[in-house]
Amino acid sequence: MPILNIALIEGRSNEQKEALIKEVTDACVRALDVKPETVRILLQDIATQDFGVAGESVRAKRERQA
Amino acid sequence: MPILNIALIEGRSNEQKEALIKEVTDACVRALDVKPETVRILLQDIATQDFGVAGESVRAKRERQA
Amino acid sequence: MPILNIALIEGRSNEQKEALIKEVTDACVRALDVKPETVRILLQDIATQDFGVAGESVRAKRERQA
Amino acid sequence: MPILNIALIEGRSNEQKEALIKEVTDACVRALDVKPETVRILLQDIATQDFGVAGESVRAKRERQA
Amino acid sequence: MPILNIALIEGRSNEQKEALIKEVTDACVRALDVKPETVRILLQDIATQDFGVAGESVRAKRERQA
Amino acid sequence: MPILNIALIEGRSNEQKEALIKEVTDACVRALDVKPETVRILLQDIATQDFGVAGESVRAKRERQA
């Protein structure tokens, strides 16, 4: 532990994902005083039609505001 | 809050997904007396080989029953 | 399917939880054209110190604003 | 119940997934004394760049060690 | 990997939980040909009022059928 | 987005949880170039009998090694 699930709007580059894994692992090490190898992170890409806020998907909102 | 994760058998149209986001958000607003913009919904498409009931995937069951 | 995980700030009554389960199930039935008995809902109570927005827990924010 | 979410490094064959669903369902039946049809399993394929251990993705680690 | 989240109706003994962890780990080892130490399992106790099927919580259903 | 679920072995103080929320939010802001208020974090305390590695719960392992 800790085990982290991170849901992201899809489209991030592998470099951004690598930076996120590194930064978040270091944040856990500092805050929880754990070893880096105990920190496991799962990233989950979410398509814009699969993420809804206030009753509307991000996709529909972007199309409406385009 | 609330934050909802909804796992669905893959294959739903964007229209069905939009309707689901709208209907479920409204349901949360009515039942919990919260504002729509506080309701976040993540949809997760599950392939038929990735969903198992009674020890068998939906895919294998459909092939068996075809 | 569908299977829903709903994270809620803790403190809701059993009546509110019952209403939420009923309303959200009906919403899924309407939007996805599925039978009610296929809809499974797991509610997850989240303590105010365990939910963070903008780098601060809800608990800390409420104390700050009290 | 029980409902199981299983995160896997992507690349497993449908046969392996079918065996996993069968074996894990049987394990739940033995350990919890429940009927197989009450056991639901969702498999989640995780790409190597989306799984991090010790601050680095599995992808980056494999490239480094290649 | 694999990482498993298992949602259970609350009330299982520690012995049942220990048996579940052992059995499910062995099932993963057989089906996926992985080492036991790579298998991580998180159990999540769900109260009967927090699990809904067909629009009703398990708690309400049990009270109705009592 | 992003939305993070962080499973922790139970026992952390509110101060450690507050530090974790702050540090992880800042890590997401740096790595993903997002605003802090878009980052939501849910912490999940896991009892030692509910977390298994290599077929054994953390609780059983600690008792064995005591």
**Residue-level pLDDT, tens digit, chain B, 66 residues:** 899 999 999 999 999 999 999 999 999 999 999 999 999 999 999 999 999 999 999 999 999 999
User: Tokens at residue C21, please?
Assistant: 């389960």
User: Which residue matches tokens 């039609």?
Assistant: A49
In contact, F6 and F41? CB cutoff 8 Å: yes
CA atoms of E46 and F59, how far apart (whole Å) = 20
Kindly give the residue spans of alpha helices, DSSP state H, lying in chain F: 14-32, 58-65
* Per-residue pLDDT, C1: 86
C9-14 LR contacts (CB < 8 Å, sep 24+)? C9/B1, C9/B2, C9/C45, C9/C46, C9/C48, C9/C51, C9/C58, C10/C45, C10/C46, C10/C47, C10/C48, C11/C45, C12/B32, C12/C45, C14/E49, C14/E57, C14/E59
* Per-residue pLDDT, D22: 98
ipTM, two decimals: 0.96
Please say if the pLDDT value at position C22 is more than 90: yes
Mutation to test the F interface, candidates E4, E26, E37, E41, most F Cβ within 10 Å = E41
Tens of pLDDT, residues D10-66? 999 999 999 999 999 999 999 999 999 999 999 999 999 999 999 999 999 999 999
Under an 8 A CB cutoff, do F40 and B40 touch?
yes
The DSSP call for residue E54 is T
* pTM (two decimals): 0.97
Please say if the pLDDT value at position F15 is more than 90: yes
Which residues of A are designated catalytic?
2
Q: pLDDT band at residue F40, thresholds of 50, 70 and 90?
A: very high
Which of E42, E59, E10 lies closest to D32 in space, CA to CA? E10
Under an 8 A CB cutoff, do A7 and F20 touch?
no
Kindly list the residues from chain A whose CB atom is less than 8 angstroms away from the CB atom of residue E40.
3, 40
* Per-residue pLDDT, B1: 86
- Please report how many Cα atoms fall inside a 13 Å half-sphere around the Cα of residue B41, on the Cβ side: 32
Please say if the pLDDT value at position F59 is more than 90: yes
Tell me if there are at least 3 CB pairs under 8 Å linking chains B and E.
no
Strand partners, C34: none
Mean pLDDT, residues C59-66 taken together? 94
Nearest CA distance, E64 vs chain D (angstrom): 20
CA atoms of A37 and C49, how far apart (whole Å) = 26
* Per-residue pLDDT, A38: 97
Q: pLDDT band at residue F21, thresholds of 50, 70 and 90?
A: very high
User: Tokens at residue A66, please?
Assistant: 């385009």
Mutation to test the B interface, candidates D1, D12, D15, D17, most B Cβ within 10 Å = D17
Q: What is the CA radius of gyration of chain F?
A: 15
- Please count the residue pairs, one from chain C and one from chain D, whose beta carbons lie less than 8 angstroms apart: 6
Tens of pLDDT, residues E14-35? 999 999 999 999 999 999 999 9
Strand partners, C53: C56, F40
- Please report how many Cα atoms fall inside a 13 Å half-sphere around the Cα of residue A7, on the Cβ side: 22
Which residues of F are designated catalytic?
2
Tens of pLDDT, residues A1-50? 899 999 999 999 999 999 999 999 999 999 999 999 999 999 999 999 99
Task: Quote the percentage of chain D above a pLDDT of 90.
Answer: 97
Q: pLDDT band at residue E1, thresholds of 50, 70 and 90?
A: confident
Query: Could you give the 3-state DSSP secondary structure of residue D10?
Result: coil
Q: Between D22, D26, D42, which is nearest B51 by CB?
A: D42
Q: pLDDT band at residue C26, thresholds of 50, 70 and 90?
A: very high
